[in-house]
Amino acid sequence: MKLPPNTHRFIEEAGAITAFTSRFFREAFRPRYEWNAFLNQCYIIGYKSLPLVGLTGFIMGLVLTMQLRPSLIDYGVESELPAMVGIAIIREIGPVITALIFAGKIGSSIGAELGSMKVTEQIDAMEVSGTNPFKYLVVTRVLATTLMLPILVLLGDAISLYGAYLGVNIKSTTSFHLYFTQVFDNLSFGDVVPAFVKSYFFGFAVGIIGCFKGFNSSKGTEGVGKSANSAVVVGSLLVFILDLIAVQVTDLLGLN
Amino acid sequence: MNGNENKEVVLLIRNLYKSFGSNKVLNGFNLALKKGENLAVLGKSGSGKSVLIKCIIGLLYPDEGEITVLGQSIQSLNQDELDHLRVKIGFLFQSNALYDSMTVRENLEFPLRRHWMEVNNTKAHELVMEALENVGLADTVNKMPAELSGGMRKRIALARTLILQPEIILYDEPTTGLDPITSKEISELMNHLQKKYNTSSIIISHDMNCIQRTSDRMILLIDGVAYKEGSFDELKGSDDPVIQPYFE
Ligand SMILES: Nc1ncnc2c1ncn2[C@@H]1O[C@H](COP(=O)(O)OP(=O)(O)O)[C@@H](O)[C@H]1O
Ligand SMILES: [Mg+2]
């Protein structure tokens, strides 16, 4: 059987990522635990991406509201605008946009940072200094991205809903209280929880891909650039694939 | 040779093989380093010099052969034992490997804090300052590595390598990429510190000036084996057409 070109490389890469992921689970739950490095990463990762996540969330909320209004007027359900926007943001726009921004900002910086540490032998230097670089660099970063992304999604959702509130108020007036009652009355368990749960998977994917690309960077500065670049490409793609899986799973579980 | 003949062997490599896929890098390499000796390993770029010393410190795992460091066989150690042994082996990386997200102080503290967890702040400060004074750069303690010149980074890396006072030091091309004057300074610093702490060392290089200044004995690594060993002058005077090009 003849396989299409690059299939071989794709399968090899997928295998290597799987092996890297299983090494993560083996190393993460065994001492020594790198608490300080982990907390430091949480701070850096959360802090670095917050302004960008906030800004994009705000714009998405505002724009989405303005785009939806004409259709809702056509159907004579303009009063449902807050409910519609709320559901769109919480279920899909918030987690996915935040994860994509996160992949662009954090995935690339992890890929570049670990890549340059690899090519300048800093990872080897850590290893000969009594430190397991996988635990110190990879485990801390992946745990930090996994835990920080859901928090960023929550903050992003809140800012986005505020943007949407302003959007609603451009053409009509609604009190802040009424708006939020309308948004939250229409949200159910099945809207909130799956969206929150999938954010953990998005965060994990961005972290593990960034670390994998950096850790396996090839020699030279060109290798570092490639690592950063493919960390973003593969990370973002994985976010969409996980989103697709998440919607199927929630559907099967009857949570939709 | 300066009286090293009867001293104990601190590092012994016997019949070392290492290949990457079909690329056979080391093909039965042998080496014995005596206490207090400075042994240079000369080889072309890509001949496997870095692979050789990375096998010694356990960063690479040999396919076959035996490496005994300070009486312990590297391949038989578990992770903890290997970490303990590594305290006694210093490694100066070719690219310095200074952590660029950390200050000079944090760079030097890293091996201290990671190896011996009980070192307190006063003691750490003293050791850092002593190590920096040894290389004449005490005033850079709060700088970032990116702010330093190439020669200064090499000195800081040397200070970090020496901070645990290792018994054996492995130098990976310590002068490559430096200008001739800085190279000379680094070579002299290596000699000075070698005398001060009475270390044994392996110096990987293709810089003849550095080898001549720092080594007591040299080994020529060709095609993965120790092709020839002897003093600098012996090898330089050799009429073997394989050896001569290295001294031109
Ligand atoms: N981790 C590795 N994986 C695959 N090949 C390697 C690795 N490290 C070194 N090599 C190969 O081994 C050979 C010797 O490399 P090296 O020891 O770095 O040379 P040098 O003598 O210049 O230090 C080179 O052909 C290099 O490509
Ligand atoms: Mg080398």
Per the structure block, which two tokens stand in for A3? Answer: 């396989």
Q: How many domains does chain A have?
A: 1
Which of A113, A120, A131 is facing B97, going by the closest CB pair?
A120
The alpha-carbon gap from B98 to the nearest alpha carbon of chain A, in Å, equals: 6
Distance CA B244, CA B157 (A): 33
Distances (CA, A) of B58 to B75, B199, B219: 8, 20, 21
Q: Which of A39, A60, A256 is nearest to A153 (CA)?
A: A60
Distance in Å, alpha carbon of B89 to nearest chain A alpha carbon: 9
- In the three-class reduction of DSSP (H, G, I as helix; E, B as strand; rest coil), residue A174 is classed as coil
Give the span between the Cα atoms of B230 and B233, in whole angstroms.
8
Q: Which domain holds residue A230?
A: 34-252
- Residue found by looking up tokens 């670990």 in the block: A114
Residue found by looking up tokens 């660099």 in the block: A137
Residues B7, B12, B14: CA angle, nearest 5 degrees = 140
- Could you check whether the bond before residue B160 is cis, i.e. omega within 30 degrees of 0? no
Could you tell me what percent of chain A has a pLDDT over 90? 82
Closest to B236 in 3D by CA, of B224, B218, B214: B218
Q: Which residues of B touch A117 (CB under 8 A)?
A: 99
Pocket flag, ligand 1, residue B48 (CB < 6 Å): yes
pLDDT in tens, B216-243: 999 999 999 999 999 999 998 888 989 8
Q: How far does residue A76's CA lie from ligand 1's centre (Å)?
A: 71
Is the CB of B46 within 6 Å of ligand 1?
Answer: yes
Q: Which of A120, A126, A130 sits opposite B95 (nearest CB)?
A: A120
In this predicted structure, the answer to whether residue B1 has a pLDDT above a threshold of 60 is: no
Closest CA to B232 of B245, B213, B248: B213
Task: Confirm whether A164 is domain-assigned.
Answer: yes
Residues near B235 by beta carbon (within 8 Å), at least 6 away in sequence? B218, B220, B228, B243, B246, B247
Mean pLDDT of B39-58: 94
- Measured by CA distance, the residue closest to atom 23 of ligand 1 is B50
Q: Is A121 on the interface with B (CB under 8 A)?
A: yes
> Is the per-residue pLDDT at B93 higher than 80?
yes
The residues, ordered by sequence, that sit 6+ positions from B122 with a Cβ below 8 Å of its Cβ are: none
Closest CA to A115 of A8, A213, A229, A13: A213
Kindly tell me the sign of the dihedral angle through the C-alpha atoms of A233, A238, A241, A246: negative
Residues with CB under 5 A from ligand 2 (ion): B 50
Residue A141 within a domain: yes
pLDDT for B20 beyond 90: yes
Cβ A85 vs Cβ A64: under 8 Å: yes
Q: Which residue has the tokens 């940072």?
A: A113
What gap in Å lies between CA A93 and CA A85, rounded to an integer?
A: 10
Q: Which residue has the higher pLDDT, A6 or B18?
A: B18
Domain assignment of residue A202, yes or no: yes
- Residue A21 forms part of a structural domain: no
Tens digit of each residue's pLDDT (9 = 90 or more) over A138-181: 999 999 999 999 999 999 999 999 999 999 998 888 888 999 99
Closest CA to B186 of B219, B164, B209, B163: B209
Residue A91 lies in a domain: yes
Integer Rg of chain B from CA: 18
Q: What is the per-residue pLDDT across B191-212, written as a single tens digit (0 to 9) for each?
A: 999 999 999 999 999 889 999 9
Give the Å distance between the CA of B19 and the centre of ligand 1: 9
pLDDT digits (tens, 9 = 90+) for A200-252: 999 999 999 999 999 999 877 788 999 999 999 999 999 999 999 999 999 99
Mutate to test the interface with A, among B59, B82, B153, B160 (most CBs of A within 10 A): B59
Going by alpha carbons, the residue nearest to atom 6 of ligand 1 is: B20
ipTM: 0.92
- How far apart CA B27 and CA B24 sit, in angstroms, is 7
Instruction: Look at residue A16 and tell me if it is in a domain.
Output: no
DSSP collapsed to 3 states, chain B: CCCCCCCCEEEEEEEEEEEECCEEEEEEEEEEEECCCEEEEECCCCCCHHHHHHHHCCCCCCCEEEEEECCEEHHHCCHHHHHHHHCCEEEECCCCCCCCCCCHHHHHHHHHHHHCCCCCHHHHHHHHHHHHHHCCCHHHCCCCHHHCCHHHHHHHHHHHHHCCCCCEEEEECCCCCCCHHHHHHHHHHHHHHHHHHCCEEEEEECCHHHHHHHCCEEEEEECCEEEEEECHHHHHCCCCCCCHHHHC
Banded pLDDT at B4 (limits 50, 70, 90): low
A127–B contact, CB cutoff 8 A: yes
In a domain, A175, yes or no: yes
Give B223 Cα–ligand 2 centroid separation in angstroms: 15
Any atom of ligand 1 within 6 Å of the Cβ of B20: yes
Considering every ligand atom shown, identify the ligand nearest to the alpha carbon of residue B45 and give its number. Answer: 1
B145-173 pLDDT tens trace: 999 999 999 999 999 999 999 999 999 99
Instruction: Compute the average pLDDT of residues A84-104.
Output: 95
Check whether B117 has a pLDDT greater than 70.
no
pLDDT of residue B116: 66
Tell me, in angstroms, the distance from the centre of ligand 1 to residue A183's CA: 61
Closest Cα to atom 18 of ligand 1 = B50
Q: Taking residues A95-104, what's their average pLDDT?
A: 97
- Cross-chain residue pair B93–A121, CB shorter than 8 Å: yes
Tell me whether residue A236 is in a domain.
yes
Give dist(CA A43, CA A39) in Å, integer: 6
Rounded-to-integer distance, Cα A41 and Cα A203, Å: 13
- Backbone CA torsion sign across B220, B221, B222, B226: positive
Contact status, residue B87 vs residue B115, Cβ threshold 8 Å: yes
Looking at the CA of B222, which ligand is closest?
1
Which ligand sits closest to the CA of B48? Answer: 1
Instruction: Find the closest chain B residue to A128 by CA distance.
Output: B86
Q: Ligand 2 centroid vs A179 CA: distance in angstroms?
A: 66
> Quick check: A196 pLDDT over 70?
yes
Ligand 1 within 6 A of B43 CB? Answer: yes
Picking from B91, B98, B101, the nearest residue to A128 by CB comes out as B91
